[in-house]
Amino acid sequence: MKKAIKHTWVFDQSPEIVWEYLTNSDLLAMWLMKNDFQPLKGHKFMFLTKPMPDFGFDGNVHCEVLEIEPCTKLSYSWKGGPGDGTFNLNTVATWTLEAVGNGTELKLEHSGFEEHNAFTFDIMNKGWEVHIKDRVTKLINERAHEAGKK
Amino acid sequence: MKEHMKQEKSDPFMALADPSRRYILQLLTKDNLTINAIAENFDMSRPAVSKHVKILCTAGFIAIEDIGRERYCKLNQAGFKDMQTWIDHFDSFWESKLNNLALMLKAHPKSRKS
């Protein structure tokens, strides 16, 4: 199971151009989501998207710029919740840009799922053993019962 | 045998945020247990344990089954699948958004100098 979400893309454009698409609010809105982003460390902003009530998510991503190094690195917190001020999704999105030839390698890491991930993975592994044990026990008991009838 | 608890869903992240609830799930990986048996592992009251069990139930992590006169808690695969769905959701979310970005950049001049 994945520890974090990672994507790497290579573009023909320079890091300066890619950077603009990551940090200009209007351009961001065109490819990502509606937002009130500003390229300032500590700036708090929101992305607006579709609510997912089954997951306790009201569609507002609450963010804060954590790190900003022009044309190199941008990271922001990425929190979501049901809309009552609590956050059940507490993650961080980090963009890094590197010049490759005349183009740019853009990396995204969306982290913060690890703890939940590792825990559920652990439970699933152990849990399914129990289920298998259950099934085997049931079968053995049924067999014993049938054998008893004969 | 009767399956209980088909109520409105509560969200899985919130359900897992609490250490007691994580511990309850860990206990259930070893065996299916009654609420009383779970409560023996905690300092808190039985109603308090019962409340945690209910939250885990509505989030889909555990199911309650009546066996004879006892009610047993057991792990339920559905809740764990939901967690994976949520992570997969973000994975494909970024995939599609970055595709948008690639399309927009394609229409953009290759560099400022040219």
* Inter-chain contacts counted by CB atoms under 8 A, chains A and B: 112
**pLDDT tops 90 at residue A55:** no
pLDDT score of B37: 94
Task: Give the nearest partner residue to A14 out of B10, B14, B111, using CB atoms.
Answer: B111
Count of domains observed in chain A: 1
Task: Give the nearest partner residue to B87 out of A2, A27, A82, using CB atoms.
Answer: A2
pLDDT score of A119: 63
pLDDT score of A34: 94
- Average model confidence (pLDDT) for chain A? 83
Judge: A55–B12 Cβ closer than 8 Å, yes or no: yes
Question: CATH number of the domain that A13 lies in?
Answer: 3.30.530.20
pLDDT means per 10 residues, chain B with 114 residues, are 48 79 87 92 93 92 89 84 73 90 84 46
Query: Minimal Cα distance from B8: which residue of A?
Result: A54
More confident residue, A107 or A55: A107
For chain A, which residues lie within 8 Å of any Cβ of chain B, measuring from their own Cβ? Answer: 1-2, 5, 7, 9, 11-14, 16-18, 21, 27, 30-33, 52, 54-57, 82, 86, 88-89, 102, 106, 108, 110, 113, 116-117, 119-120, 123-124, 126-127, 129-131, 134
More confident residue, A76 or A118: A76
Summarize the confidence of residues A58-81 as an average pLDDT: 95
Taking CB atoms and an 8 Å cutoff, what residues of chain B touch A27? 104
Domain span including residue A105: 3-149
pLDDT score of A67: 98
In a 3-state reduction of DSSP, which class is residue A122?
A: helix
Sheet containing A60-69: give its strands across. A5-11, A103-111, A89-100, A73-80, A60-69, A44-48, A34-35
Structure tokens at B83: 């967690």
Beta strand A73-80 pairing with A89-100: antiparallel
